[in-house]
Amino acid sequence: FGLSNKFDTEFPSVLTGKVAPEEFKTSISRVNACLRKNLPVNGKWLLCGCLCCCCTLGCSLWPVVCLNKRTRRSIQKLLEWENNRLYHKLGLHWKLSKRKCETSNMMEYVILIEFLPKYPIFRPD
Task: Give 46-102 pLDDT, tens digit per residue.
Answer: 666 666 666 766 676 667 777 788 888 999 999 999 999 999 999 999 999 888 877
**What pLDDT shows up at residue 57?**
63
Q: Which of 8-12, 37-41, 49-53 has the highest mean pLDDT?
A: 8-12
pTM, whole model, 2 decimals?
Answer: 0.78
Mean pLDDT of the chain: 81
* Helices assigned H by DSSP within 10-98: 21-51, 53-56, 62-82
Residue 91 near residue 116, CB atoms below 8 Å: yes
What's the rounded mean pLDDT across residues 32-36?
Answer: 87
Farthest-apart Cα atoms in the chain, separation: 67
What's the rounded mean pLDDT across residues 107-113?
Answer: 86
Higher pLDDT among residues 5 and 86, named by residue: 86
Q: What's the CA gap between 82 and 34, in Å, rounded?
A: 13
Provide the percentage of residues in the chain whose pLDDT is more than 70.
75
User: In Å, what is the CA distance from 83 to each residue of 68, 113, 122?
Assistant: 22, 10, 25
